[in-house]
Amino acid sequence: MFTGIISDIGRILTVEARGDLRARIGTGYDVDGIEIGASIACDGVCLTVVALGRTPQNWFDVDISAETVAKTAIGRSGWAVGKRLNLERALKVGDELGGHIVSGHVDGVAEVVGLRREGDSTRVTFRAPEDLARFIAPKGSVALNGTSLTVNEVSGRDFGVNLIPHTQQVTTWGEVAVGDAINLEIDTLARYVARMRDWDQGR
């Protein structure tokens, strides 16, 4: 379980196809505090640490299944050496919940369809998959590439969020471009509200 508050920006050091996809990710995390089997959200995808090391910098390895590749932005844009990733370690009991509850289980892939400056901030417009659009509401929460963000407006499948300068500085959002494929996880509460409504309507 995660909160959508990014705590490090990692960089892909190596990628190797060996049945599953094996990626080595450079990190600022102290690997002495990470155990094999720990969960780390990488651009919003919950992945399991399978190896750790410190040469030439701190790094951890993850295996990425074909299913995960197919269901996330990895399958659209790929993971190449040098790519930067939003990282978040799993929530511990007693940690501050600064964003919203995020599972790290990506629901689908959104696309960036618009960018515009608004003062010092950037308004980004995304297009959600049709089957997920109904779960997205103004002032609701979404996780995009692992980042907890507030929805400003919704129009059909399109929705907008505002990225303040701090968010752009401490995440990979400062590099966003039109056409980017983005991991989308809808708010768990929105999912259950929609399920209850469907149940009441006899679906």
Residue 200 has pLDDT above 70, yes or no: no
Mean pLDDT of the chain: 93
Residues linked to residue 118 through DSSP beta bridges, in sequence order: 121
Domains in the chain: ranges and CATH? 8-89 (2.40.30.20), 108-200 (2.40.30.20)
Q: What is the pTM of this model?
A: 0.92
pLDDT for residue 18: 81
Distance (Å, whole) CA 174 – CA 159: 19
pLDDT 10s digits, 49-97: 999 999 889 999 999 999 999 999 999 988 999 999 999 999 887 777 7
pLDDT 10s digits, 150-186: 999 999 999 999 999 999 999 999 999 999 999 999 9
Only one residue has tokens 């600022």, namely 28
Q: Is the dihedral of CA 176, 162, 147, 32 positive or negative?
A: positive
Residue 203 has pLDDT above 60, yes or no: no
pLDDT 10s digits, 27-43: 999 999 999 999 999 99
Residue 139 has pLDDT above 70, yes or no: yes
Q: Is the dihedral of CA 62, 66, 67, 73 positive or negative?
A: positive
